[in-house]
Amino acid sequence: MTGYVIRRVVWGIALLIIVCALTFLLFRIIPTGNPAVLRAGRDPQPQLIKEIERVLGLDKSLPTQFWDYIKGVFLHFNFGYSYYSQQSVLSLIRERLPATLSLTLGAAVVWMVAGLSIGIISALKRRTFWDRASMGTALVLISAPEFWLGLLALLLFSNDIGKLHLFPGAGSYVGLTADPLKWFTSLIMPWCVLAAGSAAVFARLMRGSMIETMDEDYIRTARAKGLPERRVIRQGVRSSINPIVTLLALEVGVLLGGAVLIEYVFNIPGVGLLAYHSIVQSDFEVIQGTVLLASMFIIIANIAADIGYAYLDPRVRYS
Partner 1 sequence: MAEALLRVEDLRVEFPSEDGVVHAVDGITYQVQQGKTLGIVGESGSGKTVSSLTTLGLTRRQGARISGRIMFGGRDLVSLPEGELRSIRGNEIAMIFQDPLSSLHPLYKVGRQLIEALQAHKDISRSAARSRAVELLGLVGIPDPQRRVDEYPHEFSGGMRQRAMIAMALANDPKLLIADEPTTALDVTVQAQILALMERLQQELGMAIVIITHDLGVVAEVADDIAVMYAGRIVETASADAVFSSPEHPYTWGLLKSIPRLEASRSEMLVPIPGTPPSLIRPPSGCHFHPRCAYAQPDHARIDPALEPVPDDPSHFVACLLEPEERRRLWAELKAGRIPEQALADVSAEGSS
Whether residue 300 contacts residue 252, with contact meaning beta carbons closer than 8 Å, is answered with no
For 207, how many CA atoms within 13 A lie in the half-sphere containing its CB? 24
Q: Pick between residue 57 and residue 228 the one whose CB is nearest to partner 1.
A: 228
State how far the Cα of 302 lies from the Cα of 319, in Å rounded to an integer: 19
Binding mask 200-239 for partner 1 (x = CB under 8 A): ----------------xxx-xxxxxxxxx--x---x--xx
Long-range contacts, stretch 309-316, CB < 8 angstroms, 24+ apart: 309/242, 309/245, 309/246, 310/1, 312/241, 312/242, 312/245, 313/242
Using CB under 8 A as the binding rule, whether residue 126 contacts partner 1 is answered as no
> What count of other Cβ atoms lies within 10 Å of the Cβ of residue 235?
18
Q: Pick between residue 165 and residue 231 the one whose CB is nearest to partner 1.
A: 231
- The rounded Cα 278 to chain-centroid distance in angstroms is 18
Stretch that binds partner 1, among 31-39, 51-59, 285-293, 308-316 (CB under 8 A): 308-316
Using CB under 8 A as the binding rule, whether residue 313 contacts partner 1 is answered as yes
Q: Pick between residue 163 and residue 315 the one whose CB is nearest to partner 1.
A: 315
Between residue 6 and residue 25, which ones bind partner 1 under the rule CB under 8 A? none
# binding residues, partner 1 (CB under 8 A)? 22
Output the smallest distance, CB 289 to partner 1, in A. Answer: 41
Nearest to 262 by CA among 276, 249, 280: 276
Kindly give, in sequence order, each residue whose CB lies less than 8 Å from that of residue 311, ignoring residues fewer than 6 positions away: 317
Between residue 236 and residue 275, which ones bind partner 1 under the rule CB under 8 A? 238-239, 242
Binding mask 48-67 for partner 1 (x = CB under 8 A): --------------------
State how far the Cα of 86 lies from the Cα of 88, in Å rounded to an integer: 6
Output the smallest distance, CB 253 to partner 1, in A. Answer: 27
Output the smallest distance, CB 126 to partner 1, in A. Answer: 11
Q: Pick between residue 148 and residue 311 the one whose CB is nearest to partner 1.
A: 311
Using CB under 8 A as the binding rule, whether residue 315 contacts partner 1 is answered as yes
What is the SS3 string spanning 140-184? HHHHCCHHHHHHHHHHHHECCCCCCCCECCCCCCCCCCCCHHHHH
Q: Pick between residue 165 and residue 238 the one whose CB is nearest to partner 1.
A: 238
Kindly give, in sequence order, each residue whose CB lies less than 8 Å from that of residue 232, ignoring residues fewer than 6 positions away: 219, 222, 223
Q: Pick between residue 59 and residue 212 the one whose CB is nearest to partner 1.
A: 212
Output the smallest distance, CB 290 to partner 1, in A. Answer: 39
Kindly give, in sequence order, each residue whose CB lies less than 8 Å from that of residue 49, ignoring residues fewer than 6 positions away: 34, 36, 37, 40
Q: Which amino acid is at 136?
A: G
Output the smallest distance, CB 223 to partner 1, in A. Answer: 6
Q: Pick between residue 28 and residue 223 the one whose CB is nearest to partner 1.
A: 223
Q: Pick between residue 138 and residue 244 the one whose CB is nearest to partner 1.
A: 244
Residues engaged in binding partner 1 (CB under 8 A): 216-218, 220-228, 231, 235, 238-239, 242, 312-315, 318
